[in-house]
Amino acid sequence: MGTNRVKRADVIGHAVFELKDGREVARVCDLVVDWDQRRVTGLVVESGGIWPKRSFLPLADVRSMGDDIVTCRDASVIKPLGSHQQVAELVKKQEEIFGQRILTEEGDDIGVLADVFFDVRTGQVTGYEVSGGLLEDVMEGKDTLPPQVVIQPGQDAVILRAPRLEGP
């Protein structure tokens, strides 16, 4: 990830190492996205063996996100997911958002929300990846929506101001 712009799928599965003693403390299992602010606020991480425990690593405490790992100062910055009510609500909401249909105000169905791009330094969402389905993705590639077109993810669909698409 030599760039500051990455997407959710590229971070999920990364090991989280603490710089204090070089120990692997968790694995990234998702992002925490504040959809109203269009900002990634942190990472949902898992640690433990058979019954992994989900926790929250604030983006402000992430030292780096490389091609292979995420680093933080030490494990003390990772907090139980349940201790952050707002974070827990954002995580629950986003579990329903990825895979939702994307509809325009004009009544067009332009695909499914497949991923989100963000700036690893600021957390700012920089775009949304749209899937038109497996065949269309293979034949034409996925499309990218700029973040400002998204009005608000809803219960059954993400609604857009205008269907302005950029090619792959």
Task: State how far the Cα of 25 lies from the Cα of 22, in Å rounded to an integer.
Answer: 9
Residue 82 CB partners (closer than 8 Å, separation 6+): 88
Band of pLDDT at residue 163, cut at 50, 70 and 90: very low
Domain over 101-160 is classified CATH 2.30.30.240 = yes
The reply to whether the predicted model has a pTM over 0.85 is: no
Domain 5-97 sits in CATH at: 2.30.30.240
**Per-residue pLDDT tens for 103-128?**
888 888 888 988 999 999 999 999 98
**Per-residue pLDDT tens for 4-55?**
889 999 999 999 999 999 999 999 999 999 888 889 999 999 987 778 888 9
Domain map (residue ranges) of the chain: 5-97, 101-160
Same topology for domains 5-97 and 101-160, yes or no?
Answer: yes
* Residue found by looking up tokens 């990825």 in the block: 98
